[in-house]
Structure 1
């Protein structure tokens, strides 16, 4: 083996040593951030699409208030109101304008983009649901995989979440509201992203702060178990949270 070959082999071995393995929790964080952006874009794009489509079939736009169902129906049956068999009665009395072939194609092209975005978000959700249960089983069991990943994302990673006090975790996602309050606007926030947990949002407003504080405490415990150990205590953590929820609900 000549000097050039030895040099190339050494460089190759060095590159392999320097190549970092993918950190699963950070990949999940980036995935859920992308998912949230796609969901936001989808809502905005559907709103604009509804405005356009209402020129042709305003009654359907009013009838189907759920964005995903609205997109699914048009994708399944077609964009011409005469094609929408489940809504023929509405179509026959519609006050909307007829559309020509070119206008129909424009609507179909936009609809196709919405369907593609929707399918992408579904794939990303499925990935996060599956992998989060493996990567942080206790936190996912306590909250749910998507909410757990969003909390990890806001904290900057699982290790960072495990180090934070519960009072900080309770406010993750409420930074803008807290900033406004500190500058003399509005009231102090009682919760951040944890509001999306059913044990918080389904309570009366005056009890949500207490539940969010309790849940934040358990979330930190779950994050520490996931980060430093390998035990599955998610069922017990979830049950404790449920008991506290029942106390506050009654």
Structure 2
């Protein structure tokens, strides 16, 4: 049970003392829940110790961000140090908090003198404080809490949804979803146009297979009989089929000998309207793909260079964001998109899938049947590295993506011909060399990290040496004690032996 309760309010921090005794917690649980709705009962359960208001809206937002990240700032630390009694090793002060992630930070900030809990009783107490906050915090005027909550809520939410214009992955998620939907729609609509117009000009179906080209030809030809001795339409058809005169001649000749039925003007009007819609959607799909390619090169250049814009965008969309994708281990990224197959395999105790969305990359398609699983693991590993570089690098570039792609190509060649690929360390050195000045900054950061790692290793080594010395000393002491005991026993045996001899001689 908590001795004190910390309440984070939009206007400041409040510290309450709990009057319920620890041994009465089980019996008082229902009473606490009922008292949370009754001020008269709840006022007997808690007592305000201190209230530390924020200096302003900016200060409140700063503290809200720190609390959400589990950070104890100076303002909160000062409040707790001034008002909480100092606990010892045996008797620690217990503090009730709403977010258990903040507990360890408070414990570290106060040198372990406080034990933080977030039990059901504590949550009910905090709920009661929130309900009766305007009455319990007498320093505040009526309406202050509501106004502060509204302002802080807007500011906090605004800060959460802020983004870099050049590194916003939300548009990528929407664009790839729309692209997939457009592909389905274009396929469905083009099939309808082909079937509808095929009654009038069935020979055109075999000559032209591309849906966009077919829709544009329908708009240009309309009535097949108008193609005879019409040079303007022939020139227009030639532009649509990229000046392929053989196809133009084939279309004109097929129109002359066509077995299709005649069509009325009203029917042709609706066919051309629908064909115009298909042509517009197809044209927009081309523009959308160009936009997606550009956004992917801005947001995730290394991932785009490695696995392609479309597959990379699908990975980001399936993960929810580039940040989420960068947090996934390579093993999760490998089967991303094959969750149903994975759970079915786990349920039936069968073979788990080797790949998910990354199957659509060109690398796995080029690998042999025996090497598909191996190359998918290797590719997932490189994709994981590329996504982390794109997400956390301040100035992402395609340098690492090009190197990672070359490594995958070399690994494919290794599986086929046995030529050993370039070592990863050498590949990374080459990437740093290409980056130039940016690489120097990264190397400096890595050196700092290496120094800190060396310090940690030295500390561990010192601790291990001390432990070994202590163990050796204990073993030596035990050995000496044992030797002393053995000597003492042997001496006692020597003293007893002449006495036994004398006794025997008397007998």
- SS of 1:118's partner is helix
The count of corresponding residues between Structure 1 and Structure 2 is 239
Q: Is 1:79 paired with 2:243?
A: no
Unaligned runs of 5+ in 1: 1-10
**2:330 maps to what in 1?**
166
Greater C-alpha Rg: 2
Q: Of residues 350, 372, 376 in structure 2, which corresponds to 1:212?
A: 376
Which 4+ runs in 1 deviate beyond 6 A? 11-14
CA distance in 2, matches of 1:102, 1:183: 58
- SS of 2:259's partner is coil
Q: Per residue, is there more strand in 1 or in 2?
A: 2
Asked if the contact 2:193/2:274 (under 8 Å) is kept, the reply is: yes
TM normalised by structure 1 equals 0.83
Deviations 1:114-173 (A, max 9, x none): 112112212211111111111111111111222211111111111111111222212222
Deviations 1:153-196 (A, max 9, x none): 11111111111122221222233444555565x97533222122
Q: Is 1:145 paired with 2:309?
A: yes
CA distance in 2, matches of 1:183, 1:112: 50
Q: 1:54 to 1:222 in 2, by over 3 A?
A: same
Matches within 5 A, 1:1-250: 18-19=157-158, 20-22=161-163, 24-75=168-219, 77-82=220-225, 83=227, 85=234, 86=248, 87-178=251-342, 181=345, 188-229=352-393, 230-232=395-397, 233-250=400-417
Alignment RMSD, CA only?
A: 2.8
Q: 1:91 to 1:169 in 2, by over 3 A?
A: same
Q: 1:106 to 1:15 in 2, by over 3 A?
A: same
1:94 Cα shift? 2.2
CA distance in 2, matches of 1:51, 1:111: 12
CA distance in 2, matches of 1:103, 1:183: 55
TM normalised by structure 2 equals 0.43
The structure showing larger relative contact order (alpha-carbon pairs under 8 Å, at least 6 residues apart) is 1
CA distance in 2, matches of 1:220, 1:167: 9
**1:3 maps to what in 2?**
none
Asked if the contact 2:216/2:275 (under 8 Å) is kept, the reply is: no
CA distance in 2, matches of 1:66, 1:205: 32
1:93 Cα shift? 2.5
1:69 Cα shift? 3.1
Deviations 1:182-239 (A, max 9, x none): 565x975332221221122233344333222211111000001111124431111111
CA distance in 1, matches of 2:389, 2:200: 56
**2:109 maps to what in 1?**
none
Q: 1:155 to 1:91 in 2, by over 3 A?
A: same
